[in-house]
Structure 1
């Protein structure tokens, strides 16, 4: 597989980014142990970037299509203010169970709302605008 980011740049980013929290590390470990395609999980650096992006945009409302095991949901929720909300949509009961387990262990989990069902159907039921819609 071709690298998108040079190894030296990735190493620099790793050295200058806060370490992954114990909770997120446990989530990654469970994802790799209990899912068929763990490489779908975003990495620590991507998560740190999303968290910073949410803060820089001062986002209060986020829509996420595709939850998987909830890593990206959780890091974006960490970037939201206390009254912020992240709505995430997914159709896989097994991976979203893992997500809910880790959200419940985080003080930021209360900001996350899972809408279970096909995204196209779910989108028809959601009103209002969003500050961030990472797909």
Structure 2
């Protein structure tokens, strides 16, 4: 009976262990993005093959962390902090997320919005939107 319990427990727990390992890998590959200087605005640039570039203006420094990828470079010049990624990564604020990829950008998490837009802005509440979106 003890062997049956151990086998049953292993079957039940294995998806959780795999999920934990994948999340851990993504976290380790990511980086902290918090920046406390309110006078300096941040700009994120994602460069992909085929000359596709995604720009994100974060004037209120709302991004907290990247998952699945770290910045290639971070520079501060003329009051603008420029964070450059070569390839995709997920960026998270306290309320929203964005995942730029080579052909599309996903916003608002797993069940969110997918777009081919390449220019985005983050407001003071951490909400991310495309600069092409209009209306209310």
The verdict on a shared fold, with TM-score over 0.5 as the criterion, is no
Q: TM-score, normalized by length of structure 2? A: 0.25
Q: TM-score, normalized by length of structure 1? A: 0.26
Which structure is higher in helix share? 1
Which structure is higher in strand share? 2
